[in-house]
Amino acid sequence: MATETMNIAGMRALLERGEVTAVQLAEDALSAIAADTVNGAYLTVCREEALAQAAAADALRRDGKAGALTGIPFAMKDNICTKGVRTTCASKMLENWIPVYDACVTERLKAAGAVMLGKTNMDEFAMGSSSESSALGLTRNPAAPDYVPGGSSGGSAAAVAANECAFAIGSDTGGSIRQPASFCGVVGMKPTYGTVSRYGLVAYASSFDQIGPITKTVADNAEVLTAISCHDRRDSTSLPEFDTDYSKLIGQDLKGMRIGLPKEYFGEGIHKDVAALVKQAAAKLEAAGAVIEECSLPAVNYALPAYYVLCCAEASSNLARFDGIRYGFRAEGIEDLEGLYRKTRTQGFGREVRRRILLGNYVLSAGYYDAYYKKAQQARTLLIRAFRDLYETYDMLLTPVAPTPAYKIGEKASDPMEMALGDICTVPVNLGGLPAISVPCGFSEAADGAKLPVGFQLIGPAFSEAKLYQAAAAYENAE
């Protein structure tokens, strides 16, 4: 079965040589998804639509009009709109909602000839770090089924890791692409804020959310990001001009590249295996020609509290649209408007979503706005300036993606504070609107013998994706 071992480049080579058709690739992937009774990566499988798209891709290839992703099967996170295919956000609130339009990313991938196999599971409304808050099912880590796949894009990372698609699309608000990519042993990129349109992405926190790719290899990742990046007038935060040739530096050596190793990312709470593997990755990059130096980013200590104040504030505003009147779930037996709002939101939203909405309303309320929201915005500015100052010396920074490897299902579900602390390495990137990539760098052995993947993170200044891919690919291809 071609989908068992092939990345995008491998599948494309088979298609170009005529050894397989796009329809065969899609059928192989759909069979793998149907046969999987463990991982639970998908919430919706689009068999008929996928086979129709695959047949159209084969026709394009026969006519000599095939592009880099034509006929390549992929999966879409279920908070990105797909016309005619339900988009649930893994929530009872939108369990049966079918969009009447495509997100910009969906449009771009359809135009590229890629074949959408289905929609992947996630934390409800992208609020979580383990995919356990999904109201519609449990996703397991393909590397170790008793462990979480990470979140919120856990289904997307699991689908790639389980060879149930060639690539997947996720969204990253505070690490939701990079952390599950690290936990599942695949490559995940959170691009510069504004390079991928958010049109059609169901909003969690609008100044943080960014769509990006999850793949098996660094080169694949660059190709997918090239396909989905664009200026989109329908998204007011979409950037008007930037270079989307993300593969242009892959294969070049790292001579003269300066990489900082912020000491704050290796302090208390970092698992010994994670710290050791990330430092081994640093040594490998140094052997490839990069200059590695320890540096300091003390402002990172403000990141986690600032992130949760600001994200919850934005979430409380964005999710106010779910009122039981216009679309989505509606509570029954309600006689007054206030009761409709209260019952619909209580029954339609899960516990984690309700918790974040309440926190957001609190920090925005009269008497608390200056004490919490304003100070969090000031802390965000300090962090942005601190990153800017470091990038005067370094081309990028190297850190862990998460302080620990994946943990067992249910281990942290009852302690939201402990789960939030797992975001400490990723949220600074979103506060700064910066690009960052997660790259697999080894395994940590758990007490029960499970081999848990670990990733390292490269963080660059805005629009440095090509350079990040250069360094990541040099690591990936090093002996």
Give catalytic status of residue 129 as yes or no.
no
Whether residue 173 contacts residue 152, with contact meaning beta carbons closer than 8 Å, is answered with yes
Integer CA distances (angstroms), 375 to 261, 294, 357, in order: 28, 29, 19
To which H or E segment does residue 356 belong?
helix 351-364
CA Rg value for the chain: 21
Residue of 278, 172, 201, 166 lying closest to 154 (CA atoms): 172
The residue whose two tokens read 């980013």 is 297
Task: Considering the candidates 131, 176, 197, 238, report the single residue annotated as catalytic.
Answer: 176
Give catalytic status of residue 31 as yes or no.
no
Label residue 305 exposed, middle or buried (CB < 10 Å: 0-12, 13-18, 19+). middle
Task: Considering the candidates 77, 119, 216, 284, report the single residue annotated as catalytic.
Answer: 77
Give catalytic status of residue 77 as yes or no.
yes
Say what the alpha-carbon torsion angle 268, 273, 277, 282 is, to the nearest 10 degrees: 20
Whether residue 156 contacts residue 187, with contact meaning beta carbons closer than 8 Å, is answered with no
Whether residue 132 contacts residue 173, with contact meaning beta carbons closer than 8 Å, is answered with no
396-427 burial, b if ≥16 CB within 10 A, otherwise e?
bbbbbbbbbbbbebebbbeebeebbebbbbbb
Task: Considering the candidates 91, 131, 152, 171, report the single residue annotated as catalytic.
Answer: 152
Retrieve residue 34's tokens.
Answer: 């149907």
Residue of 168, 172, 164 lying closest to 187 (CA atoms): 168
Whether residue 124 contacts residue 89, with contact meaning beta carbons closer than 8 Å, is answered with yes
Q: Which residues are catalytic?
A: 77, 152, 176
